[in-house]
Structure 1
Amino acid sequence: MKFHDFNVGLKMQAQPFEVTRDEILSYVQSYDPIHVHHDDEYARSTIYQDLIASGIHMVALILREGIKLFQLERDCFGGSELSKVQWVAPVYAGSILTPSFRIAEMQDRGDANYGIVTVQFTAYNQEHHLVVIGKVNLLIRKEIHGSQKSN
């Protein structure tokens, strides 16, 4: 989708996906050394009583699903801001997450070859409990018409 294909208020829901133990352990081995993410014995002694997924990892997986849902693999230049992220409930191995997305704002960048689309995202688990919510600003390619130059 290009910038002008979006409308404020547009809502879409991605397909549910499973968060596996192997995914959790693979991610935290490289990026998040907190023991509650990789040490079973330690995790059982915490308020979670089991290993939990890294919150940043979950945001990355949710945004991946949004990129695929909106078919932005080639039309998204990246993000300019991630904000208001709240980890409402832990995500455990075997959790099934269903991400949803709503277009909250759009900023046309004038002559630039992109606009900024603010997307609010949520994810619920298989028990219909909210697990994460947040906002991301994405730089989305505009459709270039005629001799309009690309910046």
Structure 2
Amino acid sequence: MKLDEFEIDDVFTTPPNKISEEDIINFAQEFDPQYMHLDKEKATQGRFNGIIASGIHTLSISFKLWIEAGKYGEDVIAGTHMNHIKFIKPVYPEDELYTKIKVLKKQATKRDQGLLTVLLSTFNQYEDKVFEGELTALLSR
């Protein structure tokens, strides 16, 4: 969709994505090698009672789900920034995450392009919000 096709307060909901323990460990080994993402025994003794996904992993899944929704399509030029990133609740192996995307702002910057800001809110299968963040991208108009 082009920038001008989005309306303020539009809401889109993605299909769910199940996260496995293997997914969590593989991501953490490469990008966030902390014990709560890698060491099942030590993580079980900690505050989360088991391995949890990295917040960066949860953010990445949220972004992936939004992109896979196909709303930007070929009209996206580039992401420009993210704001107000919040890791609200832990994500555990076998959680099914989906993301609701709400259009917050759109602003023309040139005759043929502009900025779109959306709020990504990601939930697990229990309807608990686990992540929230604003994403701004440069789109064709």
Aligning the two structures, in what range does the TM-score lie when normalised by the shorter sequence?
A: over 0.9
* Offset at residue 58 of structure 1 (A): 0.9
Distance in 1, Cα, partners of 2:50 & 2:71: 35
- 1:140 is paired with a residue whose SS is strand
Q: Which amino acid aligns with 1:35?
A: Y
TM-aligned CA distance change 1:73 to 1:21, over 3 Å = farther
In the alignment, which residue of structure 1 is the partner of 2:72?
72
Aligned residues: 141
Sequence identity, in percent? 24
Distance in 2, Cα, partners of 1:12 & 1:31: 29
In the alignment, which residue of structure 2 is the partner of 1:127?
126
In the alignment, which residue of structure 2 is the partner of 1:40?
40
Distance in 1, Cα, partners of 2:68 & 2:75: 11
Q: Is the 8 A contact 2:65 2:98 kept in 1?
A: no
| Runs of at least 5 residues in structure 2 that lack an aligned partner in the other structure | none
| Runs of at least 5 residues in structure 1 that lack an aligned partner in the other structure | 143-151
What TM-score, normalized to structure 1? 0.88
Q: Which has the larger radius of gyration?
A: 1
What TM-score, normalized to structure 2? 0.94
* Offset at residue 74 of structure 1 (A): 2.3
Distance in 2, Cα, partners of 1:32 & 1:59: 13
Which structure is higher in helix share? 2
> For 1:46-125, what aligned pairs fall within 5 Å after superposition?
46-111=46-111, 113-125=112-124
Give structure 1 regions of 4+ aligned residues with deviation exceeding 3 angstroms. none
Distance in 2, Cα, partners of 1:60 & 1:27: 10
In the alignment, which residue of structure 1 is the partner of 2:11?
11
